[in-house]
Amino acid sequence: MKKLQILFLSFFMLQVLMAQKAMITEEYREFKERYNLIVLTWGNDSADLCLQCDHGGDNETSFMMYARPELVITENLPKDKTVWPLGMLGKDPRTHASKEYSKSIVDFEVEKMKTVIKSELEKLH
């Protein structure tokens, strides 16, 4: 029976690898075929349901609220909402982040991955 291997990458990591041209080389294609490798990414699916598509904004903060809530300390952000947190990209987590938002993202991504995996497994038979 043919063995299927799946590599999950965040959209950010895929961008990094593509920028380094690792994903488009002949060596990569040979490696992918030799090991029957499928590269799946999450993120950049939808303006509303993406995973890790900002930098410290509502998306990543929501995910951390869902996965590791003890690590989220929003009190360290500026209290004044007109002061933009340094290095943050995306919607303001002080007003937009929530566990519920992240759960909808995670549910969407899990369903997407299940669909892709099922499709690839059907190709093996």
pTM exceeding the 0.85 threshold for the entire prediction: no
pLDDT at res. 82 = 93
- Nearest Cα residue to 55 out of 87, 96, 19: 87
With cut-offs at 50, 70 and 90, classify the pLDDT of residue 3: low
Q: Range with the lowest mean pLDDT among 3-17, 31-45, 65-79, 94-108?
A: 3-17
> For the chain, which residues make up each domain, given as ranges?
5-124
Output the CA angle 90-24-120, nearest 5 degrees.
Answer: 80
The contacts of residue 11 (CB under 8 Å, 6+ apart) are: 41, 42, 43, 44, 50, 51, 52, 53
Contact, 49 vs 108, CB < 8 A? yes
